[in-house]
Amino acid sequence: MKHTRVIEGLAADSLPIEALIEDGEPAILKAVATDWPLVRKGLEGAREAIDYLSSFDAGRPIVGYTGAPEIGGRFFYNEDLTRLNFEAKRVSFKDFLEQIADHLEDPDAPSFYIGSTDLDTFLPGLAGANGLPANLPPFAEHRPIASIWIGNRTVASTHYDFSNNIVCNMVGRRRFTLFPPSQISNLYPGPLEPTPGGQVVSMVDLRAPDFERFPAFREALDAAQVAELEPGDLLIYPAMWWHNVEALEPFNAMINYWWNAVPAFVDTPMITLKHALLSLRDRPEHEKAAWRELFDYYVFGDPERPASHLPDHIQGPLGPIDDVRARRLRADVLAQLNR
């Protein structure tokens, strides 16, 4: 493993987000958020951070995740993989924070976690003083999803997200272990569903990998990067990078921004993947090879090439897709699926 590159001297109102994503590699943006009020409160103490966050509570129930002390903070599956190893309940935000506060000094505390909770809906006003400017490119054109993540010493098992990500580490220390998308076969992905947090996770426990069961994970570790985040640090990385996230203090909080630089009508590729499992995976190898060529031509290659020799009026979905063509294509797909 190597350490993620560190970039110093950047300001929150002038981050070169697009250039950093185009680099294709994660980067720690050092101390960008050190002056944000939540970071300062966290440096005073966990209680101060909890009280500050509670002051923004809109009164809407949030989803709180609770695991027994025996899971060691790792939200995952039970031993025989028949269910998840934690409970998810709709709870009061303030009450859940108080549960965390009650166990701050407990070495065998239950695992408490609030994941991916929308800032504007549940904590209105917090982002105004503790967030990135909305007019930053590419946010002005591709509005991000801004969420908060809160808990004690927890582990989000290695997984990927469909979107680019900026992590703002606010309270406590976090450790991200990042793997490039090319390492998927060495990460031993789990089932498509159920999953601990909505995305497929690696079956390997990063803290104690079983190399007899998962021998290729050694190769994944050779390609991995480790990002150690202090309060006020930001981490940026492109979509589809796998990441394991460890929150290292009795109380931790971070804000993140997800976005994709694509039009709103673009669907999630996971739909395509699931249908490909149904329509392509079990065909003979020579057919799959032929379909791979078709996908390279129509999807992964030059997007202008398939329609370049066709008159505009017969290009259909091979031409540039806009809202109208997207609706027509989606309707055609649904009609085919519902035959």
Contact 327, 334 (CB under 8 A): no
Lookup: tokens for 20:
């950093």
- Residue 51, amino acid: D
pLDDT score, position 339: 75
> Can you tell me the distance from the alpha carbon of 3 to that of 23, in angstroms, rounded to the nearest whole number?
16
Q: Is the dihedral of CA 120, 124, 128, 130 positive or negative?
A: negative
> Can you tell me the distance from the alpha carbon of 221 to that of 235, in angstroms, rounded to the nearest whole number?
20
pLDDT score, position 336: 87
Taking only Cα atoms into account, the Rg of the chain, rounded to an integer number of angstroms, comes to 22
pLDDT score, position 195: 95
What confidence tens digit (pLDDT) does each residue in 237-264 have? 999 999 999 999 999 999 999 999 999 8
> Other C-beta atoms within 10 Å of 94: how many?
15
> Can you tell me the distance from the alpha carbon of 85 to that of 70, in angstroms, rounded to the nearest whole number?
10
Q: Which residues contact 173 (CB under 8 A, 6 or more apart)?
A: 228, 229, 230, 231, 247, 248, 249, 252
257-279 burial: b if 16+ Cβ within 10 Å, else e? bbbbeeeeeeeeeeeeeeeeeee
Residue 61's Cβ-side half-sphere holds a number of Cα atoms within 13 Å equal to: 7
Q: Could you give the angle at the alpha carbon of 158 between the alpha carbons of 185 and 169, nearest 5°?
A: 140
Q: Which residues of the chain have pLDDT under 50?
A: none
Look at residue 182 and give its three-state secondary structure: helix
- What is the location of CATH 2.60.120.10 in the chain? 2-259
Q: Does domain 2-259 have CATH number 1.20.1250.20?
A: no
Look at residue 208 and give its three-state secondary structure: coil
pTM above 0.85, yes or no: yes
pLDDT score, position 338: 85
Angstrom CA distances, 277 to 58, 157, 270, stand at 42, 24, 11
Lookup: tokens for 250:
């009795």
DSSP 83-131: SBSSEEEEE-HHHHHHHHHHTTT-TTPPEEEEEEEEHHHHSTTHHHHSS
What confidence tens digit (pLDDT) does each residue in 263-312 have? 988 999 999 999 999 999 999 999 999 999 999 999 999 999 999 999 99
Look up residue 296 and give its DSSP letter.
I
Contact 54, 60 (CB under 8 A): no
Angstrom CA distances, 246 to 41, 49, 75, 150, stand at 21, 19, 11, 12
